[in-house]
Amino acid sequence: MFILGELFRSLALLVSLVFNILYFVLVIRIILSWVNADPYNEIVQVIYRITDPILAPFRRLPLQIGAMDFSPIVAFLVLSVLKNFMVNILYHIAYRLG
């Protein structure tokens, strides 16, 4: 059982790392929206491909006031809640298993 506990603890750390990387990429996406980024740049395209599926559901909601789009803020909040939920459950399982 000790090995399963360590496996779930490692999985919780991996999930936390993935969410932290998503936060970082979302911040880069927000900064790119403020500057005139070249949409044909490969790095910009990769960032858009990573963040578009995350932001798409929130862009359908009425979260724009004038030129301000608040969908990234809502995406951050939802990702934060999801991260805390998943990591806490995995740590709880790891604690129970040993």
- Any idea what DSSP says for residue 64? E
What's the pTM value of the predicted model, to 2 decimals?
A: 0.85
Write down the pLDDT at residue 54.
94
Tens-digit pLDDT string for the chain (98 aa):
688 889 999 999 999 999 999 999 999 999 998 898 898 999 999 999 999 999 999 988 887 888 888 889 999 999 999 999 999 999 999 999 87
Beta strand segments in the chain, E: 64-65, 68-69
- Report the run of H or E that residue 68 belongs to, with start and end: strand 68-69
Give how many domains the chain has, as a whole number.
Answer: 1
- What is the residue whose two structure tokens read 């740590």? 91
The whole domain housing 83 covers 2-97
The C-alpha atoms of residue 26 and residue 20 are separated, in whole angstroms, by 10
CA 1 vs CA 4, 17, 88, 93: distances in Å: 5, 25, 19, 11
